[in-house]
Structure 1
Amino acid sequence: MTAFVLMWCRPRLREKLVVRLQNDPSVATLEITGGAPDLSMTVFSSSLYSLHESVLSRLGSYPGVDRVEVSIVTTLYGEGSRWRLRAMDAGQVGRLASVTSRDTLDRREMPQLDPVDRSLLDALVIDGRTAFQDLGAQAGVTPATARRRVGRLVDSGVVRVRCDLAAPVFGWPISATIWGKVPANRLQEVCRTLAGSSQVRVAAATTGPNNLMATCWLHSLGEIEAVEATLLERFPFVVVSNRVIDLRSVKRMGRLLGENGRSAGVVPLRPWTD
């Protein structure tokens, strides 16, 4: 299960709270925001039950937390593994697509993970370029078995391959999230359109007060108005209920981020240990 969690906290305890949250293996992504809410995060869990009983109850009990708002992802239309820098021409994209695994974002059948799978996942989160020989040694299996297991994890969608970057260094210093309400019969159309935008990193249908969430990477603060205007011009029935600007990216998909968004460490994601 994937959920977007918005958190309001007491200012004097925010930094201590951020440290606890960034070291929590259920928290995949953590942002310090410029307004309401104070913190925004993406959390993973093995089931709805554990999301409520283990993850959210734990996060909500941390000192300094005043309020928590949860939106569970029902359908993910776009995320980091699909976002593109658009630095290659059509021919280069075609050649790359011919040697990569098929798109698995919308597939639902996930294999049961055993200790070998979990050991492989821990190693890959730390270094996605780890050789199969080293992966096998860490998991206690042969390199051939490690290769076969990783292939199965990729084909099933448990593992998604992505090349991330330090956004401010590459010219996208602004990260902003739009929350909105869309009629149910138009939600898929809106989400798919947003997911196709070069500025949108994440587009999702969610539960909770809003059923639409989209995160954008932007060159300047003023672009958020242009994105919203374009959205409303094409879909005037969309109600934008909140806009959240990220002041600092603390963690992204388990990576702790330092100055200018560069990797400064890693906390392996382990949603099976809620």
Structure 2
Amino acid sequence: MTRKPHEQDSPDAKSPVHVDELSKRIIEQLQQDGRRSYAAIGKAVGLSEAAVRQRVQRLLDSGMVQIVAVTDPLQLGFLRQAMIGVTVSGDVQEVADRLAELPEIEYVVITAGSFDLLVEVVCRDDDQLLEVINRRIRSLESVTGTETFVYLKLRKQTYAWGTR
């Protein structure tokens, strides 16, 4: 079975990995540059290349870490990004799973508060955004409402959390 980039396993789906200070320092190195060599990481954290390779492989196998290329949607021709708050009647997890299957949706989180779900979409243009909201999200039987927050400008996006 091929793993899709947007799929996330439940926290207990894989065996837990002990994350000590050395592993956190390795993760920090990879957050700065996911292409950094094991030798360079080992030098920075005081481990051998083989020890770093082994630790990184455990982190990857556990699902705790993914090494991916992060793109700028604007430079790839995706001119519209938005966060959509979704209210649901019925099974929120079922709706979240259905929304996670949509290729335009990059992020799905179940929330507490004004919305049951928050979903982030990346679209070519406003026509595609309208299609996603109107025909793909609002058409789901359990969806009772949406509120769309269109991104005007991205000021900060980091992936350095989780180790400090």
TM-score class, shorter-chain normalisation, is 0.7 to 0.9
Q: In structure 1, what is the equivalent of residue 67 of structure 2?
A: 161
Q: In structure 2, what is the equivalent of residue 177 of structure 1?
A: 83
Taking the aligned partners of 2:96 and 2:120, their CA distance within structure 1 comes to: 12
Q: In structure 1, what is the equivalent of residue 101 of structure 2?
A: 196
| Greater RCO (Cα-Cα under 8 Å, separation 6 or more) | 1
Structure 1 position 152, deviation (Å): 1.1
Which of 38, 45, 52 is matched with 1:132 structurally?
Answer: 38
The alignment partner of 2:73 has SS state of coil
Taking the aligned partners of 1:241 and 1:217, their CA distance within structure 2 comes to: 16
Taking the aligned partners of 2:24 and 2:90, their CA distance within structure 1 comes to: 37
Taking the aligned partners of 1:205 and 1:104, their CA distance within structure 2 comes to: 13
Structure 1 position 241, deviation (Å): 3.9
| Equivalent residues of 1:178, 1:240 under 8 A apart | no
| Equivalent residues of 2:80, 2:150 under 8 A apart | yes
Structure 1 position 214, deviation (Å): 0.9
Q: In structure 1, what is the equivalent of residue 29 of structure 2?
A: 123
Q: Which amino acid is the alignment partner of residue 106 of structure 2?
A: R
Q: In structure 2, what is the equivalent of residue 218 of structure 1?
A: 123
Q: Which amino acid is the alignment partner of residue 94 of structure 2?
A: E
Which of 110, 127, 132 is matched with 1:227 structurally?
Answer: 132
For residues 249-270 of structure 1, what are the alpha-carbon distances to aligned partners after superposition, in whole Å with 9 as ceiling and x for unaligned? 223333xxxxxxxxxxxxxx24
Is 2:28 aligned against 1:105?
A: no
Taking the aligned partners of 2:163 and 2:70, their CA distance within structure 1 comes to: 24
Percentage of pairs with the same residue:
21
Unaligned runs of 5+ in 1: 1-80, 84-102, 255-268
Q: Which amino acid is the alignment partner of residue 5 of structure 2?
A: R
Superposition CA RMSD, Å: 2.1
| Equivalent residues of 2:95, 2:142 under 8 A apart | no
Scaled by the length of structure 1, what TM-score is found? 0.53
| Equivalent residues of 2:39, 2:48 under 8 A apart | yes
The alignment partner of 1:250 has SS state of coil
Pair 229,270 (structure 1): closer, same or farther in 2 beyond 3 Å: closer
| Structure 1 residue ranges (4+ consecutive) displaced by more than 6 angstroms after TM superposition | none
Is 2:52 aligned against 1:146?
A: yes
Taking the aligned partners of 1:271 and 1:149, their CA distance within structure 2 comes to: 17
